[in-house]
Amino acid sequence: MAQNDNETLDVVLVGAGIMSATLAVLLKELDPAIKLEVLEMMESGAVESSNPWNNAGTGHAGLCELNYTPESADGSIDIKKSVTINTQFEESKQFWAYLVEKGRFGTPKSFINPIPHLSFVRGQKGIDFLKKRFDALTVHHAFADMEYTEDRATLAQWMPLMMPGRDPNEPIAATRVMAGTDVNFGNLTQSLLAHLGQQNDAKVTCKQKVIGLKRSGKGWLVSVKDLQTGHLREIQAKFVFLGAGGAALPLLQMSGIPEGKGFGGFPVSGQWLRCDNQDVVKQHHSKVYSQAAVGSPPMSVPHLDTRVVDGKTSLLFGPYAGFTTKFLKRGSFLDLPLSIRFNNIGPMLAVARDNFDLTRYLVKEVLQSEDQRLETLRGFYPEVKAEDWRLEIAGQRVQIIKKDAKKGGILQFGTELVAAEDGSIAALLGASPGASVTVSIMLDLINRCFAEQAKSEQWSSKLNEIFPALGAVLANDAERYREVQARCDALLQLQQSANA
C-alpha cells in the first residue's frame, strides 16, 4: 500500500552515475553540513553510461580525437576545442588527486591508468591534415610532447598489432602522446559514492525511482517510488540535480521550467567489438583514434583501445552506432515517443529534415553484418581473426535537439547544462565529451546554481585548495600547467608507460 512520508533536504541528486556522484562529493567538500541524497532506480550506481563497458573509458584530453581540431575554410587548424577539453581534463585530475591525497579513496590504479593516445590516418589527404594538426597543436604547451611519424619502423614500434599485413604502399602516419589515460568511470563513480556514504547527512539509495517533481516554495517536492516495496515518499529539497543520463530529458520536462522548453532527445545506441585473448591484447598498448567516415557524426570516430577494467586488460574497437527509441540502455521503447511535446516537435522535425546524412549513416550501421564490422576493424588491424572478438552492447547517447532561430532546430553533439533562472534545479543533457569533463561541468553548475555560496570565504578557499589552477590559467600559463600536471600525475600514479 502506498504511503506518503515527508523529508527535508538541501540537495537531491537523481541518478547515481559519474555526474551526480561528482557533484555530491564536491558539494560535501565545500560545505560538510549540506544534507543530501542520491536516488538511483537501479540496483547500484554506475550501471548505465558510467559503467566501464558502456563507454570507451578514454580520458578525453584532446590528444588523439581528430574531430576536436577541425580544418577551417582557409585550411588552418582550429585547436580551441582541444585546448579547452585538455584543460578541463586537468581540472578533473586535480579533483581526483585531491581525493586520493586526502586518503580513504582507494588506489588511483583502480580508476585511472596511463595509456598512450595515438591519432592514425590513411591516405595522403589524411596525412596532410595530421601534419598540419601536429604543427598547430605542438605550439601549445599542453601538446608540446606530441610526436609525429610516417616512418613504418617507428609506427611498428608504436602500434605493433596494427602494422603486420598492411599494404606497404599505402601512405599512413600517426601522432603519439605518451601522457594519455584510460579511465574506469564505473570504479571512479563507485569510489565517489563510497566516499559519500562515509559522511554524515549524505545518503545513496538504490531502487528509488523519481516519479514526480513539483515546485514547492523556493524549492522542489520530489516524489520517489521504492521499486522493491512500492512505498512512496516525498522529499522537500532546496536544490535538485537531474543527473539521470539519457533520462534527464523527461525529468526536465516533468519540472516544467521554461528553460527546458524546446529541448528534445535523439538516442543513438552503440556496439563494440571486444577482445580478451591475451596473445592479441599484449600486442597493443594505446588508444588509437582515426577519422570518421565522410557524412558520419562525431561520435562515430573509430578507435582501437586498450582497456583496463578491474585489473584485467582487453581491447575494444568501435563504436558501431545503432538506433533505438530508448533513452537508457535499460530504458523503455516508449522513451522517445513520450518525450515529444508541443514545444519540441518543431525542432525535432527540423533536425529530421536537415540531418539526412545522419539517418543514412545510422541505417547503414544498423544493417551491418558481422563481416562488415570486421572489415572496418581490418582497416586498423589487418590480420584480425573473427574468433578473437565478440560483440558488446555499449551505453545509450541521447544527443540534444534544441531550438534554433535560423533552422528551427539543431542537433548538438556536446553536453548542455540546463538550469532554472533561480538556480533551484539543473539538468545535464547530452553525452560528449562526457565523463572526462564532469568536474568542469559541475564547477559551472556551482557557479550558476550556488552563486552566493561560491563567493563566500568558506567555499572559495576550499575551491582554491582543491583546484590550484583552473582552465584559463592552465590554458595560458605553461609553467603553472606543467607544475600542476606533474603534481597530479604523481598523486594519480600516472607515470608514463612505453610501448610493449
Ligand X SMILES: Cc1cc2nc3c(=O)[nH]c(=O)nc-3n(C[C@H](O)[C@H](O)[C@H](O)COP(=O)(O)OP(=O)(O)OC[C@H]3O[C@@H](n4cnc5c(N)ncnc54)[C@H](O)[C@@H]3O)c2cc1C
Check binding of 47 to ligand X (CB under 6 A): yes
Q: Please identify, among the stretches 45-53, 118-126, 379-387, 483-491, the one whose residues bind ligand X according to the rule CB under 6 A.
A: 45-53
By the 10 Å C-beta count (0-12 exposed, 13-18 middle, 19+ buried), 135 is classed as exposed
Provide, rounded to whole angstroms, the least separation between the CB of residue 281 and ligand X.
18
**Cis amide bond preceding 433, omega within 30:** yes
Dig out the grid coordinates for 399 from the structure.
544527443
Check binding of 177 to ligand X (CB under 6 A): no
Instruction: Choose, by CB under 6 A, the member of 13, 18, 83, 420 that binds ligand X.
Output: 18
Dig out the grid coordinates for 493 from the structure.
600514479
Output phi, psi for 411, to 5 deg. Answer: -100, 130
Provide, rounded to whole angstroms, the least separation between the CB of residue 2 and ligand X.
17
The Cα–Cα gap between 54 and 216 comes to 36
Provide, rounded to whole angstroms, the least separation between the CB of residue 250 and ligand X.
8
Check binding of 307 to ligand X (CB under 6 A): no
Check binding of 302 to ligand X (CB under 6 A): no
Instruction: Choose, by CB under 6 A, the member of 397, 398, 481, 484 that binds ligand X.
Output: 397
The pairs formed by 150-159 with CB atoms below 8 angstroms and a separation of 24 or more are 157/499, 158/116, 158/118, 158/286, 158/499, 159/118, 159/120, 159/284, 159/286, 159/288
Handedness of CA 229, 230, 236, 241 (dihedral sign): positive
Residue 243 or 265: the one with the smaller Cβ distance to ligand X is 243
Check binding of 267 to ligand X (CB under 6 A): no
Strands 172-177 and 117-122: antiparallel
Query: 405, 399, 430: which is closest to 416 by C-alpha?
Result: 430
Provide, rounded to whole angstroms, the least separation between the CB of residue 56 and ligand X.
3
Binders of ligand X among 229-258, rule CB under 6 A? 243-245, 247, 251
Instruction: Choose, by CB under 6 A, the member of 9, 11, 13, 19 that binds ligand X.
Output: 19
Provide, rounded to whole angstroms, the least separation between the CB of residue 285 and ligand X.
17
- The contacts of residue 102 (CB under 8 Å, 6+ apart) are none
Provide, rounded to whole angstroms, the least separation between the CB of residue 315 and ligand X.
14
* Cβ pair 484, 471 in contact under 8 A: no
The Cα–Cα gap between 430 and 298 comes to 13
Angle at 64 between CA 16 and CA 377, to 5 degrees: 90
Check binding of 60 to ligand X (CB under 6 A): yes
Check binding of 116 to ligand X (CB under 6 A): no
Residue 144 or 334: the one with the smaller Cβ distance to ligand X is 334
Residue 350 or 442: the one with the smaller Cβ distance to ligand X is 442
Provide, rounded to whole angstroms, the least separation between the CB of residue 471 and ligand X.
17
Q: State the chain's maximal CA–CA distance in angstroms.
A: 73
Alpha helices in 368-497 (DSSP H): 370-378, 438-449, 451-455, 457-466, 471-476, 478-491
Provide, rounded to whole angstroms, the least separation between the CB of residue 192 and ligand X.
11
Size of the site for ligand X (CB under 6 A): 42
Instruction: Choose, by CB under 6 A, the member of 210, 240, 275, 351 that binds ligand X.
Output: 210
Query: 117, 68, 154, 165: which is closest to 304 by C-alpha?
Result: 117
SS3 168: coil
The Cα–Cα gap between 471 and 492 comes to 19
Check binding of 24 to ligand X (CB under 6 A): no
Tell me the helices (H) and strands (E) count for the chain, helix number first.
Answer: 16, 20
Check binding of 209 to ligand X (CB under 6 A): yes
Q: What torsion do the CA atoms of 45, 48, 54, 55 make, to the nearest 10 degrees?
A: -80
Q: At what angle are helices 438-449 and 18-30 packed, to 10 degrees?
A: 50
Instruction: Choose, by CB under 6 A, the member of 11, 14, 196, 249 that binds ligand X.
Output: 14
Provide, rounded to whole angstroms, the least separation between the CB of residue 353 and ligand X.
26
Residue 24 or 173: the one with the smaller Cβ distance to ligand X is 24
Check binding of 304 to ligand X (CB under 6 A): no
Check binding of 271 to ligand X (CB under 6 A): no
Instruction: Choose, by CB under 6 A, the member of 142, 394, 441, 488 that binds ligand X.
Output: 394
Provide, rounded to whole angstroms, the least separation between the CB of residue 73 and ligand X.
30
Instruction: Choose, by CB under 6 A, the member of 24, 39, 304, 427 that binds ligand X.
Output: 39
Check binding of 219 to ligand X (CB under 6 A): no
Residue 142 or 172: the one with the smaller Cβ distance to ligand X is 142
Q: Please identify, among the stretches 8-16, 76-84, 109-117, 449-457, the one whose residues bind ligand X according to the rule CB under 6 A.
A: 8-16
Q: Please identify, among the stretches 101-109, 155-163, 361-369, 429-437, the one whose residues bind ligand X according to the rule CB under 6 A.
A: 429-437
CA-derived radius of gyration, the chain: 23
Check binding of 121 to ligand X (CB under 6 A): no
Dig out the grid coordinates for 487 from the structure.
603534481
Binders of ligand X among 431-470, rule CB under 6 A? 431, 433-436
Angle at 226 between CA 220 and CA 227, to 5 degrees: 130
Residue 109 or 207: the one with the smaller Cβ distance to ligand X is 207
Angle at 309 between CA 308 and CA 313, to 5 degrees: 45
Check binding of 40 to ligand X (CB under 6 A): yes
Question: Could you list the residues that contact ligand X (CB under 6 A)?
Answer: 14-20, 39-42, 47-50, 54-58, 60, 185, 209-210, 243-245, 247, 251, 270, 319, 328, 394-397, 428, 431, 433-436
